[in-house]
Structure 1
Amino acid sequence: MIIIPAIDIRQGRCVRLYQGDFSKTTVVGEDPLKVAESFQETGAEYIHMVDLDGALMGYPFNEEVIVKLVSVINVPVELGGGIRDLKTIDKLINRGISRVILGSAALKNPKMVVEAVKEFGKHIAVGIDAKDGRVTIEGWLNTSDVHYIDFALKMEDIGVDNIIFTDISRDGTLEGPNLQQLAALKEKVSCKITASGGIKDIEDIKALKAMEIYGAITGKAIYDGTLSLAEALKI
């Protein structure tokens, strides 16, 4: 299982949210590059980044900050937040982003996902952010009527190979990942599944590995010191 430390960017700074609530933002680093470099030095194989402003505005608002970071570090970066058309995907990949995460766009415009997978293949992942089992969009502000498993099955049929699943109610809470929903998802799809939201400590990492989950994204636990990235990377 791959351990993927997370960097969420808002107004150029590294922050964490609580249950996806933008009014509950905590700054955990003024310079995202320094945070990324610390992850790199610890041995991270991949870094997960979210442009929170982009998720709200519908375009990569912090693109220049992120691209500068990518140009300096040697660890591949996956990026989500405000990526909603093929032109933006192409530009970001050409500017060094290793994997682009589609969220709102995937739900609203599945035909675009078809084209993205056809053109960019493994560079495309779909982020499924759920609240009470229903897919949320637009920076987690709006909840659809679509069940997360139904959406995952649709994305798999399209050809998406990598799904990042977040239970918003767990995000930033350190209450542990939603193992039940992850197990249900894993039973239904054969895609790579990356777990996100709620990871607290090494026991959560062990539990996810036992489930044979592809990856685990962790942010708050690292910043708060309840999880050692170095220790997690050894599991």
Structure 2
Amino acid sequence: MKLFPAIDLKGGQVVRLVKGEFSTAHPVAGDAVETARAFKAAGAQWVHMVDLDGAGSGTRRNGAIVAAVAAAGLSVQLGGGIRTLADLEAVFDLGVRRAVIGSAAVAGPGLVQEAVKRFGQERIAVGLDVKGQSVRTAGWQADSGLDWLDFARRMEALGAAILIFTDIDTDGTLSGPPFERLAALQRAVSCGIIASGGVSSNEDLNKLAGMGLYGAIVGKAYYAGKVDLARAVREVRP
């Protein structure tokens, strides 16, 4: 299983949220590039980055930081404010390895199909941000009314091969991942699934790896000292 330690950016700062609420944003690290270097020193090969300014408003504002992290030698998976093919071109020009299409996949599913066709399945992930049974958009603030499993199946039919599943109610809570929901998603689609939200320990990561997931994102648990990243890399790497 691949590990994706996370860097969320808001106003140029490395922050974390609780359950996706922007009002809970609080700094957790001083410098994004130094944070990424610490991830790399622990053995991580990827970093999951979110431009929260872009996720909320649709306008990305942290491109220079993203480019600097990419130049530090980690493969960057970036989400937030990616709405068009031009946006995808722009983030790939920053050195991003994989782009995450979230709200735009709901508003215009054809973008996913076009993106996969142009850039390849490995470079595109679809963000499946879920609260209850519904997919959320606009930085998790808007309820799309779409059933999450139906939406996942539709994305797979359009060519998506990687889904990032976030259970909003567990994100940033250190309460443990939603294992049963992840298993339900595995039964519904054959896509590679990246789990996001709720990780609280190395044991959680080992359990996710045991499920055969493609990857897991580690955010608050790392910054709170609940996860030993170097140990996790050793234990879950195939």
Give the TM bin, normalised by the shorter chain: over 0.9
1:64 CA drift (Å): 1.8
Deviations 1:175-231 (A, max 9, x none): 001111100000110000000000000111111111111101011000000111011
1:30 and 1:223 mapped to 2: Cα distance?
12
Q: Which residue of 2 aligns with 1:163?
A: 163
AA of the residue aligned to 2:196:
S
Q: Which residue of 2 aligns with 1:207?
A: 207
Deviations 1:112-146 (A, max 9, x none): 11111110112110010000021000011111111
Residue 75 in structure 1 maps to residue 74 in structure 2: yes
Secondary structure at the counterpart of residue 112 of structure 2 = helix
1:95 CA drift (Å): 2.3
1:67 CA drift (Å): 1.4
2:153 and 2:135 mapped to 1: Cα distance?
13
1:79 and 1:63 mapped to 2: Cα distance?
10
1:59 and 1:84 in contact (8 A); partners too: no
1:168 and 1:197 in contact (8 A); partners too: yes
Secondary structure at the counterpart of residue 106 of structure 2 = helix
Secondary structure at the counterpart of residue 5 of structure 2 = strand
AA of the residue aligned to 1:88:
D
Aligned residues: 234
1:169 CA drift (Å): 0.4
Q: Which residue of 2 aligns with 1:12?
A: 12
AA of the residue aligned to 1:112:
L
1:94 CA drift (Å): 2.4
Query: Which structure 2 residue ranges, 5 or more long, are not aligned?
Result: none
Residue 54 in structure 1 maps to residue 26 in structure 2: no
1:59 CA drift (Å): 2.4
2:66 and 2:94 in contact (8 A); partners too: no
Q: Which residue of 2 aligns with 1:132?
A: 132
How much is the aligned-residue C-alpha RMSD, in angstroms?
0.8
Q: Which residue of 1 aligns with 2:108?
A: 109
Taking structure 2 as the reference length, the TM-score comes to: 0.96
Deviations 1:63-95 (A, max 9, x none): 122112212x11100000000000010121122
Q: Which residue of 2 aligns with 1:32?
A: 32
1:30 and 1:199 mapped to 2: Cα distance?
22
Structure 1 segments, 4+ long, off by >6 Å, are none
2:91 and 2:144 mapped to 1: Cα distance?
27
Q: Which residue of 2 aligns with 1:148?
A: 148
